[in-house]
Amino acid sequence: MDFEPIELAQTIEKNGTGDSLISVLEEIQARYRYLPRQAMILVSERMGVPLSQVYSVATFYNAFSLERRGRHEICVCVGTACHVRGAQRVLTWLEESLGTKPGETTSDWNYSLDTVHCLGACALGPIVVVDGEYLGQMHVRKVAELLARIEQADMAEA
C-alpha cells in the first residue's frame, strides 16, 4: 500500500487546520488502516502542528494505529463472562488458523487479531467483533464459518 502525499494534502486542505487534527488522522486511518510515519510528518508540516502533538493524539486514541493493520480486524472479548463461556477456545482456534497472536497481523495483511477485556455485552458472550460488527454467542464452528464467508467475499471482490 503506497503512501500518497498528494491525496493526503487534499485531505488536509479539505479539513482545515489546527482544530481538525483528529478528523485528518481519522481519514488517513480509514484510507491506510494505520497512520504511516510519513503521513504524520506531512500532517505536522501542512497543519503547522508540532509532530509531538500529532504523535500524542495518534497514540492517545485507541482508534488509531501506528502499525499497519490487516484488511479485516478481528477482536475477541476475553473478559470474565466471555472467558467462562469459551472465549479462550475461540481465541486459540483463531491464533492457530490465522497463524498470528493478539496484537499482530497476518503476513498476507488480511487479518489483524486483538483481544479486549470487556465489550459490555456480557450476556451475549463470548463475543467476537469482526470489522466493527459485534457477533455474540460465538464458538469455534461459528468462527470457522465466518472466516470462510469472509474469504469467499474477498475472492468474489478480486
Query: Domains of the chain, with CATH numbers?
Result: 5-60 (no CATH), 72-157 (3.40.30.10)
pLDDT at 30: 85
* pLDDT tens readout for residues 73-128: 999 999 999 999 999 999 999 999 999 999 999 999 999 999 999 988 899 999 99
Regarding pTM above 0.85, the answer is: no
Tens digits of residue pLDDT in 5-52 = 666 767 667 765 556 888 889 988 888 889 999 999 988 988 888 999
Query: With contact defined as beta carbons under 8 Å apart, do 40 and 47 qualify?
Result: no
Q: Note whether 38 and 6 are within 8 A (CB).
A: no
